[in-house]
Chain A
Amino acid sequence: MMTKLVYDGTFEGLLTAVFDIYEHKLTHVYIHKGDCNHNALFENVMHVVTDNNRAVRVLKGLRQKLSADGVQRLYIAHMAEMEGEDQHLLGYIRYAFDSPRNIEEDFGNRHVMRLSEIIRKVRREKHRMEAFVRFQKLQDGTFYSAVEPDFNVLPLLIRHFKSRYADQKWTIYDIKRNYGIHYDLHDTQFIAMDFTEGNKPDNVIAAFTADEGVYQHLWKNYFKSVNIPSRKNMKLHIRHIPKRYWKHLPEKI
């Protein structure tokens, strides 16, 4: 019979679920995030109680079966919060445990292949954010940017922006997931802001420095000047910058 595992959505929770599967010797399982009230008639439902000790034991086991990079990839894939992919992550972990040798490059296996696809998507989104973040200089000297990435990639951006903009304060805010990262010239930390009416996260014009408008204007002009009209190719243009990103790019507004 199919067993449905309901877990809390954390990485520790996922690892605890793996522990439970092996403890109860389950074979046919389906993993589900969050609380679930409607169940099919013929199925077992098990609630996974996230347990740090169990999670650490599974992680330790994983480290013996996978390279450090492999564990990292698994973690990133989970953190991205892609809908309906937990089943593949679970499949990947079980395949890693059940196989006598390292399976990271077995792209013939559907779970391994799927993980590689997920990672590719997440990396692309991370790269897009590194490209499409547009800072706006505020009066207190902070460079602020609002973004809406497809997946949860903000934590992956810290290293890049911290090493590049080491001498300026900056904030990158994920409007969709309502949290941001802030760098204060020493460290980065996660922040959540309270946006009440009239104080929207993507509307900070009132707080601009005097020259912010000038540079945005110059940038828009530059963007127009470098275009070669006789080579126009909108299909290619939109493939590179899909429309959903336009509203946060001054040159496309």
Chain B
Amino acid sequence: MNADRITEKLNILADAAKYDVSCASSGSKRKNENKGLGNASNGICHSYTEDGRCVSLLKILLTNHCIFDCAYCVSRSSNDIKRAGFTVQEVVDLTINFYRRNYIEGLFLSSGIFKDADFTMERLVRVAKKLRTEHNFNGYIHLKSIPGASDELMREAGLYADRLSVNLEMPTEAGLKLLAPEKNREDMIQPMGFLKHEIILRTEEKKLFKKAPIFAPAGQSTQVIVGATPETDREVLGSANFFYKNFNLKRVYYSGYVPVLADKRLPALNTAVPMVRENRLYQADWLMRFYGFKVNEIVNKNQPHLELDIDPKLSWAIRNMQVWPLDINKADLQLILRVPGIGLLSAQKIVSARKFGRLTWEHIKRMGVALNRARYFITCNSRDFERRDLTGTRIKQFILAESQSKYLKNSQTQLSLF
């Protein structure tokens, strides 16, 4: 092995792959059969980069040679950068050796598109196939579906990979037209539809025949870049909701645009990465998936953007003051979940514990509820509760005044005069 050459390739191809934010290695249920190597179940973050992101997979491009010229992408064909490509065997060796040392949960393999879609996809599939069949590798494999690849190849990919994903890149079709005129949204959605259909089919089959092979057990995900084009949060979340509903996606990732290229169509190079907005989008995404919120409760025509200075749950709460206060000892779990400062786990603890006796502030504080936010919206077994008839704006001011936001506080909180 030529260590220097491999190191150089790894640097180039890991660097080019890092803007793909997906790192999940969970949701699969691949067991280690016949004493092979590895398994995939709950997902572990083995390390964290200095920007605080999880490192759980060896995330690399097979090559950064690409025939496309998408404005937002570092690997675009007109960009003057070092190009490199791994052989199938090199990727296999790296994966196995990293895995054996407990560095990673598995492989995330993507690629620039060389020649055509099928040619590229075939190479990706070959890596996965070799790992599974020759090395008895049962760790996690995430493959990118290359837009426009044939159904036959996609089917084979699903047999070896745990998760497949197609990046939508831009939240709307108009955004894609602007920045990646050679790409076609239809080409991206087509393999998604095919895989959704195939996953349903295979799951049915698995119910009937226990021995049937597992097919992409961790499902599909996608990624959209935010902040490169002028979409509103309502459009971004609306499109995410559409794909969750219609394509059974496991995750939609939001990637705040990192300015890497100078282009008239893009934000200037010194623009800050929209990290707060990205964080708020993820919070909203969680509300839709785990807290029973509908997308139009979070953003709508009158409120097309998420508030940056407070989280979307608090934002919903102060826009809907008629719901409060809630008696924590009586209210339904569904409503308790909507209280700012109460998470999934503490909501469940509250519902279990109140069967034994009425809960006080002391109790729910110990259960992990953030009382600095929750106390404005709930009552419990105590004579002490918020008696003032506060408006939503006042509550927001109180909470902002005493909280140490992880981001710089926005000075937009203007007092309303009446």
- Residues of A at under 8 Å CB distance from B? 103, 105-110, 113, 116, 127, 130-137, 143, 145, 163-168, 211, 214-215, 217-219, 221-237, 239-241, 249, 251
Q: Separation in Å of the B320 CB from the closest CB of chain A? A: 28
A-B contact pairs, 13 of them (CB 8 A): A105-B355, A136-B101, A168-B37, A219-B103, A226-B14, A226-B55, A228-B51, A229-B51, A232-B50, A236-B51, A237-B49, A237-B52, A249-B47
Contact of A222 among B38, B45, B58 (CB under 8 A): B58
In the bound complex, residues from chain B placing their C-beta under 8 Å from that of A168 are 37, 100
**Closest beta carbon of chain A to B95's beta carbon, Å:** 12
Chain B residues whose C-beta falls within 8 Å of the C-beta of A219 in the assembled complex:
98, 101, 103
Q: Which residues of A contact B98 (CB under 8 A)?
A: 215, 218-219, 222
Residue in contact with B102 in the complex, picked from A134, A163, A211, CB distance below 8 Å: A134
In the complex, A110→B350 CA distance in Å? 14
B7 x A217 contact (CB < 8 A): yes
In the complex, A31→B231 CA distance in Å?
A: 63
Pair A228/B103 contact, Cβ less than 8 Å: no
Q: Give CA–CA (A232, B272) in the complex, Å.
A: 12
Q: Does B330 lie at the interface of the complex (its beta carbon under 8 Å from any beta carbon of A)?
A: no
Task: Decide: A223 near B353, CB < 8 A? Known: A215-B101, A240-B52.
Answer: no
Q: Which residue of A lies closest to B13 (CB)?
A: A225
Convert B6-35 into 0s and 1s, putting 1 for each residue whose CB lies closer than 8 angstroms to a CB of A: 110011001101110000000000011001
The answer for the CA separation of A121 and B37 in the assembled complex, in Å, is: 29
Do B103 and A106 have beta carbons less than 8 Å apart? no
> Most B CB atoms within 10 A — which of A103, A132, A135, A166?
A166
Q: Which 9 A-B pairs rank lowest in CB-CB distance, beginning with the nearest?
A: A236-B52, A105-B352, A107-B353, A231-B51, A225-B14, A240-B48, A106-B356, A233-B52, A227-B49
A236 to B275 alpha-carbon distance, docked (Å): 13
A234 to B32, CA, bound (A): 36
Q: What is the CB-to-nearest-CB distance from B363 to chain A, in angstroms, rounded to a whole number?
A: 5
Task: Give every chain B residue within 8 A of A131 (Cβ-Cβ).
Answer: 44-47
Q: Which of B11, B19, B44, B101 has most A Cβ within 10 Å?
A: B101
Residue of chain A at shortest CB distance from B359: A108
- Is residue B1 contacting chain A, with contact meaning CB distance below 8 A? yes
In whole angstroms, how far apart are the Cα atoms of A234 and B357 in the complex? 43
Q: How far is the CA of A249 from the CA of B102 in the complex (A)?
A: 11
Give the chain B neighbours of A110 by CB distance below 8 A: 366
- Residues A113 and B367 in contact, CB atoms below 8 Å apart: yes
CB distance from A201 to the nearest CB of B (A): 17
Which single member of B18, B32, B52, B367 contacts A107 (CB below 8 Å)?
A: B367
Of chain B, the residue at the smallest CB distance from A172 is B102
Given contacts A218-B3, A218-B10, A233-B52, 16 further A-B contacts (CB under 8 A): A107-B366, A108-B357, A132-B46, A145-B102, A167-B36, A222-B58, A225-B18, A227-B18, A227-B51, A228-B18, A228-B258, A229-B50, A231-B275, A232-B50, A233-B51, A241-B48
A166 in contact with B258 (CB, 8 Å): no
Q: B3 to A214, Cβ gap below 8 A?
A: yes
In contact, B11 and A225 (Cβ under 8 angstroms): yes
The B168-187 residues at the A interface (CB cut-off 8 A) are none
Say yes or no: B50 contacts A237, CB within 8 Å.
Answer: yes
B167 interfacial contact with A, CB 8 Å: no
Complex formed: what's the CA distance from A240 to B101 in Å?
20
The answer, yes or no, to whether B326 is at the interface (CB within 8 Å) is no
Interface residues on B, range: 35 or more
A235 to B260, CA, bound (A): 24
Q: Does B77 contact A (CB under 8 A)?
A: no
Question: Known: A130-B44, A164-B39. Contact between A143 and B363, CB under 8 A?
Answer: no
Closest chain A residue, CB of each to CB of B14: A225
Q: Is B59 an interface residue (CB 8 A)?
A: yes
The verdict on B94 contacting chain A, using a C-beta distance below 8 Å, is yes
User: With A and B bound together, what is the CA distance between A168 and B49 in angstroms?
Assistant: 28
Which residues from chain B contact A215 at a C-beta distance below 8 Å? 97-98, 101
Is A107 a contact partner of B349 (Cβ separation < 8 A)? yes
Whether, in the assembled complex, B273 has its beta carbon less than 8 Å from a beta carbon of chain A, the answer is: yes
A237 CB contact (under 8 Å) in B11, B35, B51, B356:
B51
Q: Is the CB of B7 within 8 A of A221?
A: yes
> Are B49 and A228 closer than 8 Å at their CB atoms?
yes
Flag if B7 contacts A218 (CB, 8 Å): yes
A224 (CB) vs chain B CBs: closest residue = B11
Q: Of the candidates B1, B36, B349, which one forms a contact with A214 in the assembled complex, judged by CB atoms under 8 Å apart?
A: B1
Which one of B35, B366, B367 lies within 8 Å of A167 (CB-CB)? B35
Select one of A113, A166, A227 contacting B37, CB under 8 A.
Answer: A166
B36 contact set on A, CB distance < 8 A: 166-167
Residues of chain A lying within 8 A (CB to CB) of residue B18: 225-228
Contacts of B352 in A (CB 8 A): 105-107
Q: Which of A107, A165, A249 interacts with B363 by CB under 8 Å?
A: A107
Q: In the complex, what distance in Å separates the CA atom of A230 from the CA atom of B45?
A: 22
Q: Which residue of A108, A135, A222, A224 contacts B353 across the interface (Cβ within 8 Å)?
A: A108
Contact in complex: A163, B51 (CB < 8 Å): no
| A220–B50 CA distance with the chains assembled, in angstroms | 13
Complex: A12 Cα to B19 Cα, angstroms = 54
Smallest CB-CB separation from B58: which chain A residue?
A222
CA A79 to CA B38, docked complex, whole Å: 28
Residues in chain A near residue B44, CB distance under 8 A: 127, 130-131
How far does the alpha carbon of A116 sit from the alpha carbon of B349 in the complex, in Å?
10
| Bound-complex Cα distance A46 to B49 (A) | 53
Given contacts A105-B353, A131-B45, contact A227 B50 (CB under 8 A): yes
Q: B3 to chain A: which residues have CB within 8 Å?
A: 214, 217-218
| Shortest beta-carbon distance from A27 to chain B in Å | 22
State A154–B102 Cα separation when bound (angstroms).
Answer: 16
B96 → chain A closest CB, angstroms: 10
User: When the two chains form the complex, which single residue of A103, A106, A109, A164 contacts B32, counting CB atoms closer than 8 Å?
Assistant: A164
Give every chain B residue within 8 A of A143 (Cβ-Cβ): 100-101
CA distance A131 to B48 in the complex (A): 11
Most buried by B among A103, A143, A233: A233
Q: Is A234 in contact with B50, judged by CB distance below 8 angstroms?
A: yes
C-alpha gap A103/B352 in the complex (Å) = 10
- Chain A residues with CB below 8 A from B46, complex form: 131-132
